[in-house]
Structure 1
Amino acid sequence: MGHLWTVLTHAHSLAGPVLMLLYPLYASVMAIESTSKGEDEQWLAYWILYSFLTLVEMLFRSLLEWVPVWYDVKLILVAWLVLPQFNGAAFLYKKLVRERILKRHPKPSSLTSSPIGKPKSEN
């Protein structure tokens, strides 16, 4: 049982960086190379939400240290944001972030091209 627990502990500590950073980095590059606007939205929304989550974590670090399951909750939340079965990042962005941004700032017409300057139809 001791060896199994050690393996599970190491797998758990590796799951975070893989799920929160490595897979999203790979998927973001693939989204840039694809012609699908939906993939771009999913991964841009993910990085916006992940940045916000990291900022909140930094601000409330002393409080979150008292929550023993915080890392597990964060891992589950990020899994929901990342996994293509759920597209949680795009969903949260459309339901929470987008409405608030568009109320304060009308949609700029200069953002209709891809991040590298070419419209998606030309990629």
Structure 2
Amino acid sequence: MLTSLTERYDAFFKQKNVVTNCLTVLEEKTGVQKQYIATGAVSILALYLVFGYGASLLCNLIGFVYPAYASIKAIESNNKDDDTQWLTYWVVYGVFSVAEFFSDIFLFWFPLYYAGKCLFLLWCMVPFSWNGSQIIYTRVVRPFFLKHEKTIDGVVNDLSDKARNAAKEGFALLNAEKNK
């Protein structure tokens, strides 16, 4: 297991992507191997997520910035599989954010909460077929949605109608005031 993990860690640094390109530049400028730079950066981030002020913001940035970047790249690519991967991530991220809203008042008191949350979000975005987004979507979100799809559609349609009617009334009032 440890050998497999080490091999994947080393293989990552042989890939060509934004992260490895930046690490290569840092390696050339500092003379420190990129594996050590990456390990140090990850260690500092982990310590900050445990002890740092603003760990919530950092955790949310990690869960948002890279996925947003990857989503834009997916939209611009001709491959639709990556679109599905990132749409699934955003659905799970949204469900998690709503659940967190109601439980955050209790959970943020746990010392390793933001480190755990960050690990969860990273697990949801890893580029493997067994990532957190796929597992949670197929085992929790999709079955719940399929079971309650008609009810959800009815609520969405009702709210859409109400919003449309409220907008029409608002514009009618604005036009009435404008014509006075």
Normalised by the length of structure 1, the TM-score is 0.66
Unaligned runs of 5+ in 2: 1-39, 50-54, 151-180
- Structure with higher Rg: it is 2
Residue 8 in 1 paired to residue 8 in 2? no
Q: What is the percent sequence identity of the aligned residues?
A: 33
**How far apart in 2 are the matches of 1:35 and 1:11?**
38
Larger mean Cα displacement after TM superposition, 57-66 or 25-34 = 57-66
Confirm or deny: 8 A CA contact 1:24 1:82 kept in the other structure: yes
Query: Alpha carbons of 1:95 and 1:38: their partners in 2 closer, same or farther (altered >3 Å)?
Result: farther
Whether the 8 Å CA contact 1:19–1:82 is kept in 2: the answer is no
Could you list the structure 1 runs, at least 4 aligned residues long, displaced by more than 4 angstroms after superposition: 9-15
Higher RCO (CA 8 Å, separation ≥ 6 residues): 1
DSSP 3-state at the match of 1:60: helix
Output the CA distance in 2 between the equivalents of 1:60 and 1:11.
22
Whole-angstrom distance in 2 between the partners of 1:23 and 1:73: 18
Is 1:100 the equivalent of 2:136? Answer: no
Most deviating of 21-30 and 43-52:
43-52
In 1, Cα distance between equivalents of 2:108 and 2:137: 27
1:63 matched to which residue of 2? 106
The aligned counterpart of 1:42 is 85
Gaps of 5+ in 1: 107-123
Root-mean-square deviation (Å): 2.9
In 1: Cα distance, 2:59 partner to 2:144 partner: 30
Q: Give the TM-score taking structure 2 as reference length.
A: 0.47
Q: Distance in 1 between matches of 2:97 and 2:69?
A: 20
How much has 1:17 moved relative to structure 2? 4.4
Residue 88 in structure 1 maps to residue 132 in structure 2: yes
